[in-house]
Chains A and B, each alone.
Chain A
Amino acid sequence: MEHDAVNQPPEQPLAPDLAAYFDGELSDPEEVARFESMIREDARVREQLHEYEVLRTHLRRLPKTEAPPYLRKRIAYMISARGRRMNALRMVSRLVVAGAMVAAVVAVGAFWNRPIQRPGNEPIYAAMVADHVKYKPATSDTELFEDNPADLETWLSARLDFSPEIPRWDWAELKSGRPCSLNGYKVALVRYRCGGDEMSLYIWPANRPAQRDTVAISHAPEIMTTDLGFEVALWSRDDLTYGLVAERGTTSITEHLGNTR
């Protein structure tokens, strides 16, 4: 039985669902079927849908307002300016990426082609200072604590392929000796105490690669001062080269070795 919408009390919205049905926003097929059934059977529902339709027609006939030309131009300009900026940024980012890749390739190449630290490449005085700084007394197996130079020479000769001749100095107290490595070559390290400081004396056969960078080590000690506060003396005698490192302080090896010239 049909209802007469006009003779019914003022229509309350059937439900927001009817508007949703009208707008095609109902997704549930059962709900759609329910409304279709109501439309067939209920004149009020048909009337309401008709009102929706007429209302839509009138609303869509309302005057359309166009954006002013200046506004459209301004918007177009803003978009194109943004586009140019994006393109510029894109270009810059591409250049940055390309630059980074080139830099990476150069860095990798430089790494693989870097000068290899071969024995003898480091200046001998620098190698001696570095070894002196990191010195720590070793165990009795690797370092002999002996104040007798002859005994120490014997012990060192048994552990090296040369016989180091240990200087006898009255101004320094012999403490110990051991083999060590300078620029990858085995040398003798002899430790002395002088005043409150300790000194390292390195001995190796003359003309060994370890001293390759040194030019013509003379018999007279060549003394140099490093910017780290060390004094280094280099000299040769009897086919042996000597390198002495001491901290510059109360002890002045210049003063003592000057007497050996």
Chain B
Amino acid sequence: MTADEFEMHALSSSDGLYSYALRLTQNQEDAADLVQETFVKALKRLEGFREPSAVRPVLFTILYHCFVDLWRKKKRRPRLVALPDPDELEELTSAALPNPARYSSGLLGEALSQEVSAALGDLDDELRETLWLREIEDFSYTEIAGILGLPLGTVRSRLSRARSQMAASLQSFAKQRGYTNPRSGKEGS
């Protein structure tokens, strides 16, 4: 693969890489360094890239490994949190109560992105990393397994657990806010 071909596929991944790095490191400078280190390592093996479709998963794999190395060096792992949407945050603080009408049906539909972010932040690191790669970056199970260095079955079970925990957190939130579940006709406490 030529540098031009690589550039075309790699640059389109830079936002996703930075976003993932930011959630891993919680620090903009560290995230930028992590992405830069990722490209330094990727460019060293540029001749090894054959399929353009492999560029993105490989970049995420390198980024994750760089992060793990960083964590091992620091003997601690930065906690991954979901960043709040500034617009949502403003809306939340300015309104006394959110308007239930704006949400889709079902308990989860009542949840705000703010709460989704919080629920995501409450997940264990390994569940959050796996869920992020699936739901935000839209990687296949095989690609996720490659990126995180896990068996396929572990990816499956992590995704299942991550979704269950997220659902439980959001249901709890919705009930606390008193949103009704239109399906059951019941009200939360």
A12–B164 CA distance with the chains assembled, in angstroms: 8
Determine if A78 is an interface residue (Cβ-Cβ < 8 Å): yes
List, in ascending order, chain A residues with CB within 8 A of B163's CB: 13, 19, 51-52, 55
Encoded as 1 (CB less than 8 Å from any A CB) or 0, chain B from 32 to 47 comes to 1001100110010010
Contact between A86 and B40 (Cβ–Cβ < 8 Å)? no
CB distance from A12 to the nearest CB of B (A): 8
Binary flags per residue of B114-141, CB closer than 8 Å to A gives 1, else 0: 0011001000000000010011100011
Find chain A residues with CB under 8 A from B22 CB: 65
Interface 0/1 of B3-25, CB less than 8 Å to A: 11011001100110111001000
Contact A71 B32 (CB under 8 A): yes
User: Which of A33-41, A56-64, A104-112, A120-128 touches B?
Assistant: A56-64
Q: Are B36 and A80 in contact (CB under 8 A)?
A: no
A window 16-53: CB within 8 A of B: 16-20, 23, 25, 47, 50-52
B167 close to A75 (CB less than 8 A): no
Task: Tell whether A17 pairs with B19 under 8 Å between CB atoms, given A65-B83, A72-B14, A82-B3.
Answer: no
Does more than half of chain B's interface fall in helix, strand or loop, or is it mixed?
helix
The 0/1 profile, CB within 8 Å of A marked 1, for residues 145-166 of chain B is 0000000010011011101101
B62 within 8 A of A: no
CA distance A47 to B11 in the complex (A): 39
Interface residue? A116 (CB, 8 A): no
**Chain B residues whose C-beta falls within 8 Å of the C-beta of A47 in the assembled complex:** 183
- Judge whether A6 is part of the interface by a CB distance below 8 angstroms: yes
Name the residue of chain A whose CB is nearest to the CB of B17: A67
B100 part of interface (Cβ distance < 8 Å) = no
Interface residue stretch chosen among B70-78, B91-99, B102-110 = B102-110
- Please state if A75 and B35 are interface contacts (CB–CB under 8 Å): yes
Least CB distance from A25 to B in Å reads 5
| A11: nearest chain-B partner, CB-CB | B164
Of all chain A residues, the one with the shortest Cβ separation from B6 is A79
Bound together, the chains give a CA A17 to CA B163 distance in angstroms of: 13
Q: How far is the CB of B4 from chain A (nearest CB, A)?
A: 6
Cβ of B26 < 8 Å from any Cβ of A?
A: no
Total contacts A-B at CB 8 Å: 140
In the complex, the answer to whether A50 meets B106 with C-beta atoms within 8 Å is yes
- Whole-angstrom CA separation of A85 from B159 in the bound complex: 42
| Contacting pair A51 B167 (CB below 8 A) | yes
Q: Count residues of chain B with CB under 8 A from any CB of chain A.
A: 59
In the complex, A228 has a CB within 8 A of chain B: no
- The 8 A CB mask of A172-194 against B (1 = contact, 0 = none) is 00000000000000000000000
Of A55, A56, A58, A83, which contacts B3 at CB under 8 A?
A83
Give A80 to B183 CA distance when docked, in angstroms.
56
How many angstroms from the CA of A101 to the CA of B6 in the assembled complex?
A: 32
Query: A45 to nearest B CB, angstroms?
Result: 13
| Cβ–Cβ contact A54 & B109, under 8 A | yes
Question: Is A59 a contact of B135 with CB atoms below 8 Å?
Answer: yes
Chain B residues lying within 8 Å of A15, measured Cβ to Cβ, are: 160
Residues of B within 8 A of A11 (CB): 164
Contacts of B80 in A (CB 8 A): none
Q: List B contacts of A20 (CB < 8 A).
A: 141, 156, 159
- CA–CA, A51 to B35, complex, Å? 33
Establish whether residues A62 and B156, one from each chain, have CB atoms under 8 Å apart when the complex forms. no
- What residues on B are CB-neighbors of A86 within 8 Å? 2-3, 46
Cβ-closest chain A residue relative to B86: A63
Q: How many whole Å from B117's CB to the nearest CB in chain A?
A: 6
Least CB distance, A72 to chain B, in whole angstroms: 6
Q: Is A68 an interface residue (CB 8 A)?
A: yes
Q: List 10 A-B contacts (CB under 8 A).
A: A16-B156, A52-B163, A59-B120, A63-B85, A63-B86, A67-B35, A71-B35, A78-B39, A79-B39, A86-B3
Chain B residues within CB distance 8 Å of chain A: 2-4, 6-7, 10-11, 14-15, 17-19, 22, 28, 32, 35-36, 39-40, 43, 46, 82-88, 104, 106, 108-109, 111, 113, 116-117, 120, 131, 134-136, 140-141, 153, 156-157, 159-161, 163-164, 166-168, 170, 181, 183-184, 186
